[in-house]
Every structure is written in C-alpha cells, then in structure tokens.
Amino acid sequence: MAAQALVGVGVQVDLYDAMPSVGRKFLLAGKGGLNLTHSEPFDAFASRYGERCPVLAPLLQHFGPTELRAWAQGLGIATFIGSSGRVFPLDLKAAPLLRAWLHRLRGQGVRLHMRHRWLGWADRQGPQGAPALAFDTDRGAVTVRADAVLLALGGASWSRLGSDGAWVPWLRARGVDVAPLRPSNCGFTVAHLGRDGAEHPGWSAHFRSRHAGAPVKNVALACVHPKGPSFAQVGEFVVTDGGVEGSLVYAASAGLRDAIEAEGRAIAHLDLLPGRSADWVAREVAHPRASRSLATHLKGRLGLDGVKAALLYELLPRSVIADPHSLACAIKALPLAVMAPRPIDEAISSAGGVRFEGLDDNGMLRAWPGVFCAGEMLDWEAPTGGYLLTACFASGVWAGRGVLRYLADSRMHQKDA
C-alpha cells in the first residue's frame, strides 16, 4: 500500500521481501475466505482497536472500510457483505486480488526483489539520512541505499511466512521504543479440576480422548479485562488437546492474556445456555429426575449433552454437581481457568511493536530520520473480522504519504542549501 501511494506520483520504489513471493501471509488470511474489512458504522469499527483507537482512527478516516472496498473494486474484485457484517471478495479468495494488485504495481514501475532477507543496517545513514540496508540473497550479501526506507516487517506470528520478529533488537539498538511482542487472537492452555479437588494443567486424559477437536457452539464467554472494559459475547470455540481456541476465544484473547500477565492466570465464565434465563435453568435442573441419571436428566430437560455436559464434569467439584442450585448457577457461569496463551508463532496476529509515541505524524521514526514503519510491526492489536487487514492497509497508505512529504521536504532543503 505504501508502494502504491509512492509510485503513483513518480517515486521509484523497490520492494524487498525475504520470501520467494509476495504476500504469503495475505494469502494465508484468505485460506478460509478473505475477510477484508467490516461494514459496521465507523465509530464502532474504530473502537475495535481499544486503547489505540485515538491513534488509528485518523488513519482509518483517510483509508477505512469504504475506501478499501473501492480500492478492491478498482482492481476488478467485487465484494459483498456477509450475514455477520464482514466484507469478503465475491469469490472469497485472496489470490486473484493479490495477482491483480501486483500486476498493477509492476505496471507502474515498482521493482520487486524476492529472497532478500534483511540483516539490519549496513552503516549509520545514507544520502538523505536513511541508513543503508544489508540483505542476504541467493547471490550473497547486498547493500541498498535509498532516500527513504519504509519497514513493514510484521509481528512474530507464523514465522514460516516471514514475520519472525527478528527486527526487534535491531531497532531497539538504535534507540527505537519497541513494546514486547505478544500473542493476539490466540488459543490458551487451561486447567481442569482433578478428583483431588486441585487444578491440573490441560484437560484430563478422559476428557481429551473424547472431546479434543470438538466445537462448543452457542455459548457465551465472559471475562474481566484488568485494564479495560469487561468482555461478554456469544459465539463458539473449539476444544484443543490442552485448551481452547476459535473465534470466541480469539475475541476475548487480549483480556485473557493481560489478566494472565497481571495475575498469573485468568478466569473466563462460560454460559452454556445463553438463550435461557437463569430462573429457567434452575427450575429444569431442580425438576425431580426419579431414577434417571444426571446426564440423562440434563440432556432431556436442558438439552445439555456431549462436550457441553462433559465440561461440567471436567471443571466442577463433585459437591457442586450434586447440588441442583449450585449446578444451575454453574451452567450459566461455568468457571474456566485459563493458564497461558499458546506460543506466539501459533497466534493469528501479535500485539506490541514499535510504539506510536516513537513515530512522528508521518509515520517516521523519531530516533531515525528517513525510516518509516507500517503494518503489524506497529504497537496495536484488533480482533479478527477484517480489522487486522484494514488497519494494515491504512497504515501503509499513511506511511507512504509520510514518505512523500519527507522526500519533498528533503528536496526543498537541498535546494535551499
């Protein structure tokens, strides 16, 4: 996006990528249907960026969901709004959009250099203040000098696609303020309640053997964010071999992660029957069951069976299961002990990165004139639903325009000199 902003006004742009082809992570984002953006009103959209909303909202006002859909249409890719409000290409695929985009950029003169892995700075600075860049290539070491440098190096998730976070110490060594990279939109390991009444890491062998991989549908998850508003949302998640993942868990992941960092663990509460009132659940649980087993009673009266019923036995002490009132309360607020996020390389995205306070209004590093940053390497995070891609696009446009202003100022200063 930065290259597009620059090449359109006659700037020569060279794009260097460590991978054999461009946009590997973009293609991954389209694996299950490319969710480009979201159609909700702008204020609601901007609020999804949490504490970074004040910084990102101006960028999104210049290039947000409406502009992104128009941009895709200009590449011949029509979009549609799904039932959830999410926006997708008509064919749900990322590859046709990427091909059309690269075809346009090449036609405009952008030069693409693949298999160029950045190794850091080659010297202190180049002709206009930007440092020379050192690359490792198939042909050996290469040094590149430019009037301005824009870094879009990603975070630290899915390192096999190029975003490995190796750049963090290089920027910190130059005085750049970088927040630690942390997993975002991620799964978690959990703890179950053993027969001894104590918490044990992961699921029990019995539960894991029967329910690992099972989806848990139509539930509500609630948790308290230690630094922000509480989270409560209806959706679904998946039981993994040692914990939980999936869309509902990803949506709550920032609060769960921050609570773990602050307190060593987090407690999420699951409402297994969000469509039913607490009074209704209490009446049905308390209904006489005669000789029927509790499992049969829960299935017949409440429709609770399978993995949902198994979660009750996995997470509750026997005394709670045996008491109808306590059991009814737990069905509406089942405590799930969340112990740790899954490793950052497994996460959909990452939080942390170059802090906006270390950038000027053009996206240029205050510690390093001539060097700009964009994308996921900046210190922000957002849930899935089109918010991640949209902010990456918007920051690319913002930084590209910032480079233009910097180059214009540099030429003016040279002329004056």
Q: How many domains does the chain have?
A: 2
What's the pTM?
Answer: 0.89
Q: What band does 131 get if pLDDT is binned at 50, 70 and 90? A: confident
The verdict on 218 and 243 lying in the same domain is yes
Helix (H) or strand (E) holding 120: strand 117-121
Q: Which two tokens stand for residue 45?
A: 């959209």
From CA 316, how far away is CA 275, in angstroms rounded? 22
User: Considering only CA atoms, which of 122, 181, 173 is closest in space to residue 154?
Assistant: 181
pLDDT in tens, 259-314: 999 999 999 999 999 999 999 999 999 999 888 999 999 999 999 999 999 999 99
CA distances from 111 to 13, 68, 311 (A): 6, 24, 55
Average pLDDT rounded to a whole number, residues 369-394: 96
Q: What is the DSSP letter of 52?
A: G
Average pLDDT rounded to a whole number, residues 28-38: 90
What range defines the domain where residue 383 resides? 2-183+344-416
The verdict on 53 and 89 lying in the same domain is yes
The verdict on 299 and 227 lying in the same domain is yes
The verdict on 165 and 245 lying in the same domain is no
The verdict on 238 and 265 lying in the same domain is yes
The verdict on 261 and 376 lying in the same domain is no
The CATH code of the domain that includes 177 is 3.50.50.60
- For residue 127, pLDDT beyond 50: no
pLDDT in tens, 214-260: 999 999 999 987 776 789 999 999 999 999 999 999 999 999 999 99
Domain end residue (candidates: 341, 366, 383): 341
**pLDDT value at position 236?**
96
Number of neighbours of residue 406 by Cβ within 10 angstroms:
23
The verdict on 112 and 46 lying in the same domain is yes
Say how many Å lie between the first and final Cα of the chain, rounded.
33
- For residue 128, pLDDT beyond 80: no
Beta bridge partners, 111, equal 14
Average pLDDT rounded to a whole number, residues 342-355: 95
The verdict on 128 and 10 lying in the same domain is yes
Domain end residue (candidates: 313, 341, 369): 341
Q: Which residue type sits at 270?
A: L
- For residue 416, pLDDT beyond 70: no
The verdict on 39 and 167 lying in the same domain is yes
From CA 89, how far away is CA 82, in angstroms rounded? 10
The verdict on 55 and 166 lying in the same domain is yes
The verdict on 336 and 214 lying in the same domain is yes
The verdict on 202 and 134 lying in the same domain is no
User: Considering only CA atoms, which of 187, 148, 151, 143 is closest in space to residue 168?
Assistant: 151
Beta bridge partners, 147, equal none
Domain end residue (candidates: 325, 341, 357): 341
